[in-house]
């Protein structure tokens, strides 16, 4: 809701205030504005939908797992940067991304080990309790 509000309300208000301050409206493209604005509007709508789905996913996930996935967005963005923009990623960027991936793997292994230990404790407690028929 906040992204939609800012996209639909605040941006036009900013343009209006800016144009009143400068006493002119910003220049609009003269040739085929629909073809030029369509990708921009599409990107805005899709980014809003993506943000809504991301928020819904974080609400449904466990906090530890959600924060891990949030951190993994950084190395993924470097990958997308390299693939689609052909911009070089520096060595420091790669080192930081590697540290993030290693910490996510260590955290995942730790959570898996904790879950396995919890299962063993539950099984031991269930085996130690007498059955109802043997009282």
pLDDT tens for each residue of the chain, 135 residues long? 566 666 665 666 666 676 777 766 556 555 556 677 778 788 888 989 988 998 898 889 888 778 888 888 888 888 888 888 878 889 999 999 999 999 989 988 888 888 889 888 888 888 888 766 555
Question: Taking Cα atoms as reference points, which of 54, 53, 69 lies closest to residue 108?
Answer: 69
Q: What are the structural domain ranges in the chain?
A: 1-21+36-60, 62-128
Q: Provide the b/e sequence for 95-125 (b: ≥16 CB within 10 Å).
A: eebeebeeebeeeeeeeeeeeeeeeeeeeee
């Amino acid at each position: 809701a906040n992204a939609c509000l800012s996209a639909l309300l605040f941006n036009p208000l900013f343009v209006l205030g800016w144009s009143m301050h400068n006493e002119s409206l910003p220049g609009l493209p003269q040739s085929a504005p629909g073809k030029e604005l369509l990708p921009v509007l599409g990107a805005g709508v899709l980014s809003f939908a993506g943000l809504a789905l991301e928020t819904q996913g974080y609400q449904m996930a466990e906090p530890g797992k959600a924060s891990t996935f949030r951190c993994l967005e950084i190395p993924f963005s470097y990958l997308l940067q390299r693939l689609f923009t052909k911009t070089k990623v520096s060595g420091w960027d790669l080192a930081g991304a590697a540290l993030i991936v290693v910490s996510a793997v260590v955290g995942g292994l730790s959570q898996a080990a904790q879950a396995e230990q919890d299962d063993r404790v539950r099984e031991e407690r269930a085996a130690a309790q007498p059955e109802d028929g043997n009282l």
